[in-house]
Structure 1
Amino acid sequence: MNNIKIIILLCLVFNQFFASIGWAQEKHGFTITGKIKGLKEGETVKLTFEDTWPIWGNGWTKPVASALVKNGKFTIRGYLPDGPRLAELEFSRTNADMKQPFPPFLMDNENIVIHGRVRAKILPSQSIIIEGSRSNEERKKLFPYFDIWRQGLRDRLTDTLQKLNGLLGYNKDFMAGIERLKLEQLAQVKRGLVQNSSGQAAVPYYVMQCFDAVGHDSIVSLLYDRLDEHIKTSYYGKLMQNRLYLCEGQPAPNFTSFTPEGKSVSLKDVTAKNKLTILDFWGSGCIPCRNEFKEYTVALYNEFHNKGLEIIAVSWDKNEKSWKKAITDDQQPWINVSSLKGFGDSVYSSYKIIHTPQNVVIDQQGKIVAWNISGLELHWFVDKYLNK
């Protein structure tokens, strides 16, 4: 019995020793084999990953791996420690001839083959085939659902309502019909997502890419719970998990900030006194924000303030004079606050705001009830909520 214990102990010691000097088996990484016609002999192919969410300016990492083109072929090897990432290939010489950048693709530690042809007059997305990446296939499979949700049910609907506003104005029957149609289509999209997204690596990627449109919906928590554990701890999985507290139905993060006169304002105190509170993120240099104020928000506030609506406009301004001048010029009647720290404002950090305009609607219990609704849609939401 003692001999067996000694043997087991020796095995453990030797295993740790071999691992420490690099004799242990290496983790399985990725291999990208490229067979692309049109590349220049000897040029460098570089692999980069999406670095920040969302893509904002130059949101790509420095090259993480590279290879030289030989006889029209290249092989890039490496290891992804944090699961699937959106990747892109750069070519040191051919890139200048391409009409658009190489199509990005989702990849994990997989054996990937990329083939096709690069020509100056043909878009890479039309002539390049990417095979072997399960993550990217999942991405293509889920694309229609997120595209309909983001483009069809948010962007296009908003554009349509803005165009009809000049013709119909605010019409309750019309808005009720629009809402029914939207909810029916949204229900179909959500059913499709739940049925087709179990355990898939592309889910957190798409949630983050479409975050402004879909990332705050209560269904996001359900989608996250259905992910495999290794996807939850992946790069996009951790980003998704870190934003679940901002979903509709969750308590709105409390904060205290200051008015132009230096008076402190607590979100918790404001929401407790009003049936509905809108946090509006803006800045004096944000033209769409200020246009929205002039065209819709001032009238909305004047109509519903006495019925229980309050607005707190949180500015990303750094210049106090510019901030105060914009408030005066736009005749903003609501509560204005700012720390004058730009997007480094703690309120912006708490709500993960990296661009404007954006807004959050909060009920009297301090819970988030809606994100990023504007114009006629916001008017209808407030009207229906305060008169229910």
Structure 2
Amino acid sequence: MLKTLITAVLGLAALAANAQNGFTLNGKLSGNHEGQKVMLTYRADDKAVKDSAIVKNGGFLLKGKVADAVKAQLTLKELGEDKSPMTMEKMLAQDAQEFFLENKDITVTGSTIRTALIKGGAAQADYLLLNSQLKPLQDKMKPLSAKMQQYSKEKNDKAKDELFPQLRAIRVEMNKVEDAFIQQHQDSYVTLDLLNGRSGVIDVEKIGPAYNALSPRMKASSQGKKLGERLKVATKTDIGKPALNFVQNNTEGKPVSLASLKGKYVLLDFWASWCGPCRAENPNVVKAYKKFKDKNFEIIAVSLDDKKEAWIKAIETDGLPWIHVSDLQGWKNAVAGMYDVKAVPQNFLIGPDGVILAKNLRGEELDKRLSELIKN
């Protein structure tokens, strides 16, 4: 009897412990949202996770478990699915809010999701603090952003160009606020999220010291480990380091190696047919290629396409007469992985000795740098 009682008590204790290991998200909305759907979305192990609940008597409840605190989003939707394409206007009009989800009791209270107060967990407390510090600058930016959207609809490029300096100045001030937060909160998932947000293209000199200053707990988290691994790769492909050799097939299915171009100045260019900024940059690259192609200069372009037809068509349409390679694996392209390419366009200028001389030269910068290097 005693043994059975002890077993039961231990079982209840285990259940209680397991319950504490998960999150409970309890919402209470004062507006008229009866029957609407609340969507919870976040990413775990690079996969999208979705859950939902229906608002009943003004409330909703969601439960689950996350490995680490993670940025998530709550969105309130009508029960009927809207199958029309997502537009910028629709995205901005969504009744949604981002927050940090961790295995705690979390409360959501307000008249809408957008304006609700979301509380629960240390990460969300940090996020609320950062948002309170950024709010005065965000309030300055909102009317300017609204004007920018208006001018875009009107195709008033002159007015848009005049707004950019004001928006950039506010963004600089926001960066300063975030920088101070990063320095003061080195054991925060919010700091780790800020660093990840700045790491689409890793600047080793900026990201490296900030990552090294993180607490052991942050470095040991899932996102911390991934950023650490990316930083190692970025360090290997930084300016002054030997370019990593690779072999991929060209448009005819024949293998081409980077090493075969040693002795020349080489632009290693990452792009894709579906990448608007890449296609917009191509005329500048064509101009530089025509100017220097007979002066010991070559381009090898690695495409992040997954459809050969689209890749070939873009090469022909944009008139790109240099070397093209791809494994047609999209974002899983092996060379992109070697060079930690998480955003395109990106490029690396490599010297005749195979050492990386510069990164991400845009517009006239490529022509200017090649003019400095190639004198005759």
Structure 1 residues 196 and 382: CA distance shift in structure 2, 3 A: farther
Residue pair 1:47, 1:89 contacting (<8 A) in 2 also: yes
Structure 1 residues 354 and 215: CA distance shift in structure 2, 3 A: closer
How large is the Cα RMSD of the aligned pairs?
A: 4.6
Aligned to 1:297: 285
Tell me if 1:273 matches 2:263: yes
Cα offset, 1:86, TM superposition: 1.7
Give 5+ residue unaligned stretches, structure 2. 1-5, 83-89, 142-147, 149-156, 159-168
**TM-score computed with the length of structure 2 as normaliser:** 0.65
Cα offset, 1:100, TM superposition: 0.5
Distance 1:348 1:24 in 2: 45
**Paired residue secondary structure (1:104):** strand
Residue pair 2:25, 2:107 contacting (<8 A) in 1 also: yes
Aligned residue runs from structure 1 range 137-156, under 5 A: 137-139=125-127, 141=130
Structure 1 residues 48 and 263: CA distance shift in structure 2, 3 A: closer
Residue pair 1:216, 1:246 contacting (<8 A) in 2 also: no
Aligned counterpart for 2:199 among listed residues 206, 211, 214: 211
Aligned counterpart for 1:115 among listed residues 104, 109, 121: 109
**Paired residue secondary structure (2:123):** helix
Aligned to 1:131: 119
Residue pair 1:36, 1:116 contacting (<8 A) in 2 also: yes
Aligned residue runs from structure 1 range 236-247, under 5 A: 236-247=223-234
Residue pair 2:37, 2:79 contacting (<8 A) in 1 also: no
**Paired residue secondary structure (2:14):** coil
Q: 1:63-104, CA deviations, whole angstroms, 9 ceiling, x for partnerless residues?
A: 1xx666454334444432x21112223456479799404212
Structure 1 residues 280 and 133: CA distance shift in structure 2, 3 A: same
Aligned to 2:249: 258
Distance 2:59 2:222 in 1: 30
Name the count of aligned residue pairs. Answer: 323
Give 5+ residue unaligned stretches, structure 1. 1-13, 54-58, 119-123, 157-162, 165-180
Residue pair 2:77, 2:95 contacting (<8 A) in 1 also: no
Deviates more, 1:189-198 or 1:25-34: 189-198
Aligned to 1:35: 28
Aligned to 2:154: none
Aligned to 2:70: 85
Aligned to 1:195: 183
- Aligned-partner residue type, residue 65 of structure 2: Y
Structure 1 residues 88 and 190: CA distance shift in structure 2, 3 A: closer
**Paired residue secondary structure (1:314):** strand
Aligned to 1:231: 218
Aligned to 2:164: none
**Paired residue secondary structure (1:88):** strand
| % identical equivalent positions | 30
Distance 2:306 2:81 in 1: 39
Residue pair 2:39, 2:76 contacting (<8 A) in 1 also: yes
**Paired residue secondary structure (1:211):** coil
Structure 1 residues 310 and 278: CA distance shift in structure 2, 3 A: same
Cα offset, 1:113, TM superposition: 2.6
